[in-house]
Amino acid sequence: MPKKVVVLGEAREGALRNVSFEAIAAAKKIANGGEVVGVLLGEDVQSLADEMIHHGADRVLIVQHPHLKYYTPDGFGQAFMAVYEQEQPEAVVFGHTALGKDLSPKIASKLGTGLISDVTGIEGESDDTVFIRPIYSGKAFEKVKNKDGLLFLTVRPNNIEPLEPDTSRTGDIVAVSIVIDSLRSIISEVIQKTSEGVDLSEAKVVVAGGRGVKSTEGFQQLQKLANLLGGAVGASRGACDADYCDYSLQIGQTGKVVTPDLYIAVGISGAIQHMAGMSNSKIIVAINKDPEANIFKVADYGIVGDLFEIVPLLVEEIERL
C-alpha cells in the first residue's frame, strides 16, 4: 500500500547534510509509490527546499522561527510535532546523526510509537519491508519488521545510496507557521572550533590515528594524508585521552560511528570499543607495527611496520599521482 512518509532534512552551515538525501531515498522505498514530504526546521532554510525536491521529495514543508536557528530538543520537538499533526504520515525518517539520535526517541515517546534506529539497509517492499540494523557494537545485524502503527526510523549516514539529483523535478514548498512557547533553553550563540575540511561522520575516506601516532605533530601528518584522499581525520580514544587530538574526532562506542568507503587505522590496536565505531567500513586498511594487533582481524589490507615510515611514504606516493 502506498504510504505518506515525512523526512526531516538536516542542515549544517547553510547546506543540507548528505544524510538528508539518504533519508529521502529510504523514504521513497518505504513510500511504495506514495508521497515523500520533506521537512526543514530552522531560522532561514527556505533556500534548501529545492534540493530536497531534486533528490526525490514530492513536497517540502518549511518551519522557520528565530528559536530554530540552533537545535534544541524542545524547539525542534514542538516544530516537528506541529508538522506531524498536520500531515498524519504513515512513516517518519530521520538521519541517525547527533540531532536525529537526540530528537527521534523524544518524538517517538510523545507519539507512543516504536523506533527502528540506526538502519543500514532496507529489504523487500510494502508490508514485507525489513529493516537491517547493527547490534552488539556491529558484531551482528538484526532484521526488524514494523508490525503496525507508525513506522519511525533513523538511517545511519553513508549506508543508503541517495537518488541521483534531478534538477527538473518540481514540487510544492509550503511554509508552516507555528507558535513556539515555553522553551526550557534557548541557544544564543554557538562558538565553533575550527575544523579542517570534510565532516567525519559523512566522510568517504577516514584516516584514523591511535596512541601509536604519539603526538599532535603525528596527527598533522595524518591530516595531510586525509586531505590528499579527500577525507577526514578520526582517532581512537587512546589518542584523544593522550591529548594528541580533540575528542570530537573520537570514533567508537562512546564516539562517532563511521561507515566510510575507506578506513585507514594508523597505530590503533583495535579494541572492541573502537571497532564498534568503524568495523562496518567498506574497506579497512590497518597500519601497525604489532602483527598480532586485533585491528588486523577486521582489516581487508594490513601493513605491518612503523607508521612513521609508512605514512610519509604513502603521502609521497599519492602526491606523485
Contact footprint for ligand FAD (CB under 6 A)? 210-212, 236-239, 250-255, 267-269, 271, 273-274, 277, 287-290, 293, 306-308
For 55, left (φ over 0), alpha (ψ -120 to 50), or beta?
alpha
| Nearest distance from C-beta of residue 312 to ligand FAD, angstroms | 12
| Nearest distance from C-beta of residue 308 to ligand FAD, angstroms | 5
| Nearest distance from C-beta of residue 237 to ligand FAD, angstroms | 3
Q: In terms of CB distance, is 28 or 237 closer to ligand FAD?
A: 237
Q: In terms of CB distance, is 56 or 212 closer to ligand FAD?
A: 212
| Nearest distance from C-beta of residue 178 to ligand FAD, angstroms | 37
Separation between Cα atoms, residue 30 and residue 16, nearest integer Å = 22
| Nearest distance from C-beta of residue 73 to ligand FAD, angstroms | 23
| Nearest distance from C-beta of residue 129 to ligand FAD, angstroms | 32
Q: In terms of CB distance, is 11 or 293 closer to ligand FAD?
A: 293
Q: In terms of CB distance, is 160 or 258 closer to ligand FAD?
A: 258
User: What does the DSSP assignment read for 117-168?
Assistant: EEE-EEES-GGG-EEEEEETTTTEEEEE---SS-EEEEE-TTSSPPPPP-TT
On whether the CB atoms of residues 252 and 278 are closer than 8 A, the answer is yes
Separation between Cα atoms, residue 125 and residue 111, nearest integer Å = 24
Separation between Cα atoms, residue 29 and residue 20, nearest integer Å = 14
On whether the CB atoms of residues 130 and 188 are closer than 8 A, the answer is no
Q: In terms of CB distance, is 47 or 220 closer to ligand FAD?
A: 220
Q: In terms of CB distance, is 231 or 277 closer to ligand FAD?
A: 277
The C-alpha cell at 227 is: 586531505
